[in-house]
Structure 1
Amino acid sequence: MKWIQLNRHSARTPEVTLSAATTENDSFEALVASDFAFTRRAWVDAAPARVYELISDVSAISRWSPNAGDVAFDHSAGPRVGDWFSGRNRRDGKEWTTRSQVVKADPGAAFGFVVGGAESGIVRWEWTLAPQGRGTVVQQSWRLLRLDPVLGTTRTDLDALLGYMANSVEVTLTALAQWLAEERSR
């Protein structure tokens, strides 16, 4: 059974040829954060309201994401703009905790947050939902907001991060679609 079809949309893909003024090992001074962004889309077998209920419950992300776990809203917080949550992340054998702030909470339509907070965050994650047939087209976007050495110090480092995160999103969307299909058949 086919669970999902991913549509890839990226601000920059590995096939893009670098200009003569740009090299793979450029330092921060030559890089632009907005070059590092992507969007992935998938159709899932659930109404937008149900999908929103799941994705805005940040504690559920570990069901689908290969890189996130132990995610929870702060005490008395929830999927409301301005509220905060923490989570554990994994990549390349390393683990760390992040703090994120909800920046969009439109039930049934969109949910977004910024790692590090709205004012000085480093990465923006956003989910948008659109009804299609009996299901929903789920769009998940990732965008680097500012450069930080913790993410890498060259274009090669940031391209690797971009590829890693895009793969993670594809795995997450596939797992979400499968989970929803199984939920529907229970």
Structure 2
Amino acid sequence: MTSTVQETLDPAGFAFTRQAWVDATPADVYGLVSDVSAIGRWSPTASDVAYDEGDGPEAGAWFSGRNRRGDKEWTSRSQVVAAEPGAVFAFVVDGIVEWRWTMRAQGRGTVAEQSWRLLRLDPVLGETRDDLTALRDYMAASVETTLAALAEWVTTRR
């Protein structure tokens, strides 16, 4: 029998971090990932992302985007919660999930880390522990694809 979200599941158990080396400076990587309209170049799950009119990569800014997982597609609202050029860019999606990019210099390039974590449980994400585990695993695979595509995109543009 699987547990339901209404039981005592801890959202902290649904998180991960992945990283990749990118042949660019931390400032350049930050510039790429904080330009949310560019995420569709690398992400297999996000598209049509744009800051609200007059907003940009700064704490408090809002943006919208379309997301897809399998045959499901939806629009989300996100708010930037950290924006430190060359170091960290983070946002919260629909008050449920935090995405965080961190950058640190390594050699002539940057180690780019992307983290995902549930902030709170919500039935829209699934009803059981198995649902949430599958979502986390799906998103981890998506992040691995995104990081590899970002690193390749930077390399081919040099």
User: Which digits, 9 at most, give the CA deviation of each residue in 1:81-114, with x for residues without a partner?
Assistant: 0010000000021110000000000001100000
2:118 is matched with which residue? 144
Residue matched to 1:34: 12
1:101-180 aligned at under 5 Å gives the runs 101-116=79-94, 121-180=95-154
Q: Does 1:45 align with 2:23?
A: yes
Structure possessing the higher relative contact order (Cα contacts under 8 Å, 6 or more residues apart):
2
Distance 1:131 1:157 in 2: 36
Structure-1 separation of matches of 2:88 and 2:130 = 32
Q: Which residue of 2 aligns with 1:181?
A: 155
Aligned equivalents of 2:157 and 2:70: distance in 1? 32
Unaligned regions of 5+ residues in structure 2, if any? none
Amino acid at match of 2:49: V
| Structure 1 vs Structure 2 CA RMSD | 0.7
Gaps of 5+ in 1: 1-22
Q: Secondary structure at the match of 2:24?
A: coil
Q: Which residue of 2 aligns with 1:10?
A: none
Identity %: 66
Q: TM-score, normalised by structure 2?
A: 0.98
Partner of 1:71: 49
Moved over 6 A (4+): none
Q: Specify the code of the residue in structure 2 equivalent to 1:27.
A: T
Letter matched to residue 141 of structure 2: N
Separation (CA, whole Å) in 1 of partners of 2:110 and 2:19: 10
* Structure 2 residue 24 is matched with structure 1 residue 82: no
Q: Please state whether the residue corresponding to 1:88 is helix, strand or coil.
A: strand
